[in-house]
Copies of this chain bind each other. A is one copy, B any other.
């Protein structure tokens, strides 16, 4: 059966030269508006101060015409998801986020609702990582042990958010981002990894997958394959589980 999933997966909420979420404003607004969504459920689990984090998102998105509420303000997180048509999972620490999603039995619940077409999913950074096949390619520190590295699996491949070609200084002997992703691709269980540059986002609509935003992405595959995809590329082939 064709998935009725609809999702926006942002590399990050912040992008150099833009205020918070501004680089993605047009995509976010059209994503929500064309589905008649006026209310947005925010999931601040990747950070520790839920009220403060939710207030920050409210401050940005309420003026855009959306009413943002924090999942922690509901009696029950499952009910919170059931009473909203769209969810936004914010960034922070991916391990902490995934652990809290599992603790609240939200991983399967969100997956099912998204696949049925009954929930729009928006994620940023850690919120994008947990939406993929697994969190194997997060950049975050493993500050807490989650019951699994499996994600919500809205898409069947991996994402590396905040992707950049080179981070370390020339004298530093730590591994580069590309080396780290290469280590993952050596694993028998590895899927392709899409490195999303800051300012890029993925638009998932059923079986169509587009790279949008102001920056491109880089696809890493087994056998040292590395392919650049500029913004507006169609990468729907990545949704084919046989390629992932």
Chain A interface (Cβ within 8 Å of chain B)?
12, 14-16, 48, 92-93, 95-96, 135-145, 148-149, 162, 164, 167-169, 171-175, 180-181, 183-184, 186-187, 189-190, 198
Q: A143-B184, A181-B141 are in contact. Are A169 and B172 (CB under 8 A)?
A: no
Contacting pair B183 A93 (CB below 8 A): yes
Q: Report how many copies the assembly holds.
A: 2
**What is the bound-complex CA distance between A138 and B183, given in angstroms?**
15
Enumerate chain B residues within 8 angstroms of A15, measured Cβ to Cβ: 173
- Of B12, B140, B164, which is within 8 A of A169 by CB? B164
Contacting pair B164 A172 (CB below 8 A): yes
**What is the bound-complex CA distance between A92 and B182, given in angstroms?**
12
**Would you list the 3 A-B pairs with minimal beta carbon distance, nearest first?**
A16-B171, A162-B174, A14-B173
Q: A139-B174, A144-B187 are in contact. List 13 more A-B contacts (CB 8 A).
A: A12-B173, A16-B172, A92-B183, A95-B142, A136-B141, A139-B175, A140-B183, A141-B183, A143-B190, A144-B189, A167-B167, A167-B174, A172-B198
Nearest B-chain residue to A188, judged by Cβ: B144
Contacting pair A173 B180 (CB below 8 A): no
Q: A48-B186, A162-B173, A167-B167 are in contact. Are A138 and B142 (CB under 8 A)?
A: yes
Contacting pair A135 B144 (CB below 8 A): no
Enumerate chain B residues within 8 angstroms of A93, measured Cβ to Cβ: 183
Contacting pair B169 A167 (CB below 8 A): yes
